[in-house]
Amino acid sequence: MPDTYRPRFSRRTLKTLLVVLPGLILLLASLGPAGTDIPIAEKWPDRELYWLEQPDSPYHEVRLIYATGLAIAPAQRLVQQAMAAQLESRLTRHDWPATISAQADHLQLRLSWPAAAGVPDLSPLLQLLTAPEPIPETQLQRLQAQQYLAGQQPDQILLNRFLSQLQPPASPANLADRWQALQAAVSGSPPRVLIGGPRAPDIAARTADSLPEGAPRPATSIAPLQPVRQLRLQLDDARHPSMRLLGGAAAGRDSPDYANELLAFTSLRLLLDAQPSMQYRLQWQALHQGGFRALVLPATLQDPESLLRKAAAPVRRAREQLLLQYRALLDAPSGQLDELVANVLYQRPQQPLDAIIGALEAADEDDIGARMSHYLDPEPLIRIELNGTGLMESGEW
């Protein structure tokens, strides 16, 4: 007699599984990499020394953060980049294969090595960085040429005038003075040190004695952002088309509104990218305790807010993009250090590394739409016209 087939599950059980499993799969997929173990940042007592113990990382990584103050104008950015390149070259000559990036308010040094290579002594590296170097005359001349060329495009002409309104009068007036001010900020104050990897606690213990007690001295050599005041300017240059800049203040990186601002600007960029043949430039900078925004559009677009009336704001797509980016970031050891850098630099070291994900998920779509409408307001706090009409020749309100 042949064997009788008896199903392992009843028909009712199978129907229940068909209903429940899709929802369970969607729930687990929505968690993504954020559901993985994300380390908690540790701090050495009385030292600006932080670490993430990452047991599964195949390498160790060290970040040194030098707060430099504000560097948003073209001259400051050029000097910041030149300083980073010179420091990187110096470290390479002394067998420290590090990379250094120049940001709007800090320099960041990155150094990594395989986890199996042991625990290095970072004291010689920290000592090497305290030695100032003068800027070569040839490099200064090259920076001056780059500064001139960078200011010839019409959108950059508008941005330069906008950024000049945010620069304090007492900021260094020329490239050589800016170099000296930045050099003093780097060599005169120890960095914040961040360490990641399987033996990060051991590296931190070995590094602690090389750092002074307390917080690094604030970088006062480059003055902070000026308060944004209402301003209308008219510029004329027959070589360029008519363009308009809409600008103003923005929330800082340490603001509770940062996630909403990030989502609003990402949505705005998607909206502008979807416009046929739209030529625009969008600049947004979130700094400590404040930031700024600037949008350059063709002057022929008299009513920028009409863009929102013609099409729904792509908030959902922007949110999905940002969540994917941050989940991928926090799934990698180096990305976890990236987020720790932001927390430490903007004075929120106790905040969980994945806090940004919850904030993006909780952002209200109506609030994002209102922010976008505010950024597209044709009468913002600062409006600068290039070859436009209907404004004062120059001046401020």
* Domain ranges within the chain, ordered by starting residue: 37-224, 227-397
Q: Is the pTM of this model over 0.85?
A: no
DSSP code of 259?
H
**Fold identical between 37-224 and 227-397?**
yes
CA separation for the pair 117, 91 (Å, rounded): 19
Architecture of domain 37-224: 2-Layer Sandwich (3.30)
Q: Which helix (H) or strand (E) holds 58?
A: none
Burial group, residue 45, by CB count within 10 angstroms (0-12, 13-18, 19+): exposed
Q: What is the dihedral of CA 260, 264, 265, 268, to 10 degrees?
A: 170
Give residue 394's pLDDT: 40
**CA dist list (Å): 56 to 52, 107, 129, 248:** 12, 28, 31, 44
CATH number of 227-397: 3.30.830.10
CA separation for the pair 194, 62 (Å, rounded): 6
Scored b (16 or more CB within 10 A) or e, 113-141 reads eebeeebbebeebbeebeeeeebeeeebe
CA angle 344, 350, 352 (to 5 degrees): 100
Give residue 9's pLDDT: 43
Question: Among 351, 63, 54, 59, which residue's Cα sits nearest to residue 207?
Answer: 63
Give residue 110's pLDDT: 96
Give residue 224's pLDDT: 62
Tens digits of pLDDT across the chain (397 residues):
333 334 444 555 545 555 455 555 444 444 444 445 899 999 999 899 999 999 999 999 999 999 887 888 777 788 888 888 888 888 988 888 899 999 988 999 999 999 988 777 888 888 888 877 777 667 666 766 766 666 567 788 888 888 878 876 556 667 778 888 888 878 888 899 999 999 999 999 999 988 888 766 655 445 567 777 888 888 888 778 889 999 998 988 888 999 999 999 999 999 999 998 888 999 999 988 788 999 999 988 889 999 998 888 899 999 999 999 999 999 999 999 999 999 998 878 788 999 999 999 999 999 999 999 999 998 888 999 988 765 444 444 3
